[in-house]
Amino acid sequence: MKKVLLLLSMVLISEYGFSQTYSQTFILCDKSYTVSTAIQLDKSINVSLIKSIKLNPSDTARTYTVKNPALDDFAKTFSESFSTYFGDSACRTPVKTEELQGIGRNIFFNMLRANTDNTAPEAGVLKLYSTARYEEDTTVNTSHPIHKDTTPGKKNDTVAPGKIIKMIFEVKDGYLENIKVYINIKDIEYIFTNLYGIGISNVKNIKAFPQTCLYSLPNATGKAYKVSAANVFNYDYAIDLNRRDYSPQDIRSQLNGGETLTLYKDETSKLFEAQIYTDFLGLNENKPNGLIQVEASKKINISTVQKLVPRPFFLLAHSIGSFQYISPNITLSKIEQHRRSLVLSDLDSLRLNPGGNDTTKLNSNLHRYTTLLNLYQYQTFSAGVDLNLITFANHDLKYTFYLNLGAKLGLTSVTDSLTKINDNVITKTGLISNYTVTTLQWYPSVSMLFSPEGRFNFVLSDKVMHIRAYNSKFEQLSFDKLNNKKFTIPTHSWLNIFEMLMTVRVNADSKLFGRLRYNYELKNMNENFAQVQVGYSTYILGRR
């Protein structure tokens, strides 16, 4: 138990051991300014502003602190602080807030890149156009929108394009997941948004931009418009050796009309994330699977193309996609010293006390038995892959639904305390046999992810698993749900695994988990075990 607590304590230690600094010089109204930032242990940011060429010797650096290290807070505080300190002398006319916030965002991103391990390669450049062709949305009062190509060459070429003011966007798992584009049309500002995530992980995604529309939100004018994504922005992906996925790291940012932003892949230290779980039911040191579980997986995008669902299903789901990703995964279970192995049950005792069973069906050469559920419960290692078959998403209802197919190889360590029978008396020989049992598992699974906000999400999932053991040293038995003494001899079994998972993001690098699992034989719920777990995430390749 002490070792477990020590391990968890080491995981929870902060990755920052010293202040990280960055400096940058920028020009505004033909004057030069230098800004210096220092990331503190509590992740707040100390900022120092100074004129690069002092107008008089008494000029000193102006300092302030950004307590919340988020993009918007940093840019807003920079704009307000600069206006307070230098507003009267910076320019002849007041500097626009949007321009100062743009400088602040640039400083923020440069600071983040300077404080990483510099192993984050460029993913591509996102460009926001300054104007966009648009057309009236005639489906605004219907229950289902219609996508239509609004690229140049259509009749709307005769209409003056709208002026793009800015775009606020979120990149998540290879999608432009949320977008708000502010466009001035006939001197009225409209906000356009997407119905579903727009993939940017491959060339096919970019080719689909012209057929993907953004729709204006209602306003006082009563007018509604739509615009092709290809008329609003472009993603110029970067080519690199052996790169086939062009999706950038998850980010939330903003671009003004006509601006570009270089997006980056995840740095090497963040490529692989593992979750460490402790099991409340395993803390008594007699329950298996177990005191500690370590799980690692990696989602690899295949086809991040989403399409508008047909009209009858639009209220339930806005988009549908197929074969979106594969996810290799590894699980290490029960890393502790108590009952690491499954102790096989005594088949000879069952023969001596058959309890109404026909023991002639049992293999006369075998002396031990177990159930496939026990083999799964005591499993110490598993590795496999999940393949996404279908994905449904509805931003309005805040959920994403996945139908997957998966397969795994499992390993279970077993212990056999050898016995012998003399005159119907079973005695121990004192000899122990230890070996590993291999199981093959495949399963369809469904899961529903609810994402109300970035700090919290909730997942409901169910997995129907077919499991088969490959070993001839023991009998595989199962029991009747109406009579737990009546056995059957299956060659395989179906298990059901129901799970509820809650994730809380502590900061940009850390997450906490709470998980409830209920595992049982599909034909006999009396054969079951539960897991009540808490967990924490960490990066396998180290932290920056």
pLDDT, residue 167, reads 93
Q: Say how far apart CA 438 and CA 67 lie, in whole Å.
A: 52
pLDDT at position 15 over 70: no
| Confidence band, pLDDT 50/70/90 cuts, at residue 156 | low
Q: Looking at the structure, do residues 56 and 159 belong to the same domain, yes or no? A: no
Q: Looking at the structure, do residues 303 and 424 belong to the same domain, yes or no? A: yes
Given 70, 85, 114, the domain boundary residue is: 114
pLDDT, residue 471, reads 85
Q: Say how far apart CA 269 and CA 20 lie, in whole Å.
A: 17
Residue 22 per-residue DSSP state = E
Asked if residue 425 is part of any domain, the answer here is yes
Cβ distance 145 to 308 under 8 Å?
yes
Asked if residue 174 is part of any domain, the answer here is yes
pLDDT, residue 357, reads 77
pLDDT, residue 293, reads 82
- Quick: pLDDT tens for 427-445: 666 567 788 999 999 999 9
Q: Looking at the structure, do residues 488 and 389 belong to the same domain, yes or no? A: yes
pLDDT, residue 10, reads 42
CA 25 to mean position of chain CA atoms: 36
Asked if residue 544 is part of any domain, the answer here is no
Tokens 């994402």 correspond to: 451
Q: Looking at the structure, do residues 399 and 479 belong to the same domain, yes or no? A: yes
Given 251, 268, 285, the domain boundary residue is: 268
Q: What mean pLDDT is predicted for residues 154-176?
A: 81
| Confidence band, pLDDT 50/70/90 cuts, at residue 111 | confident
Angle, helices 71-90/97-114, rounded to nearest 10 degrees: 130
Q: Looking at the structure, do residues 133 and 181 belong to the same domain, yes or no? A: yes
Q: Looking at the structure, do residues 263 and 288 belong to the same domain, yes or no? A: no
Q: What mean pLDDT is predicted for residues 486-507?
A: 88
pLDDT at position 157 over 60: no
First to last CA, the chain: 30
Q: Looking at the structure, do residues 108 and 226 belong to the same domain, yes or no? A: no
pLDDT, residue 6, reads 40
Least confident among 123-132, 245-254, 262-271, 452-461: 262-271
Asked if residue 11 is part of any domain, the answer here is no
Cβ distance 301 to 201 under 8 Å?
yes
Q: Looking at the structure, do residues 84 and 164 belong to the same domain, yes or no? A: no
- Quick: pLDDT tens for 511-522: 889 999 999 998
More confident residue, 149 or 341: 341
pLDDT, residue 425, reads 60
Q: Looking at the structure, do residues 105 and 177 belong to the same domain, yes or no? A: no
Q: Looking at the structure, do residues 305 and 346 belong to the same domain, yes or no? A: yes
Highest mean pLDDT pick, 61-65, 308-312, 392-396: 392-396
Q: Looking at the structure, do residues 53 and 81 belong to the same domain, yes or no? A: yes
Helix (H, G, I), strand (E, B) or coil at 114: helix
Q: With the C-alpha atoms ordered 103, 116, 234, 194, is the resulting torsion angle positive or negative? A: negative
- What residue numbers bound the domain in which 170 lies? 122-268
Q: Looking at the structure, do residues 90 and 130 belong to the same domain, yes or no? A: no
- Quick: pLDDT tens for 209-228: 998 999 998 888 888 899 99
Asked if residue 391 is part of any domain, the answer here is yes
Question: Can you give the pTM of this predicted structure?
Answer: 0.74
HSE of 450 in the Cβ direction (CA atoms, 13 Å)? 9
Q: How many domains does the chain have?
A: 3
Given 92, 114, 136, the domain boundary residue is: 114
Q: In the numeric block, which tokens belong to residue 355?
A: 């309890």
Asked if residue 8 is part of any domain, the answer here is no
Nearest alpha-carbon partner for 528 in 341, 292, 333, 289: 289
Q: Look over the chain and give the mean of its residue pLDDT values, rounded to a whole number.
A: 81
Could you list the beta-strand ranges (E) of 106-187. 122-128, 131-132, 135-136, 162-172, 175-185
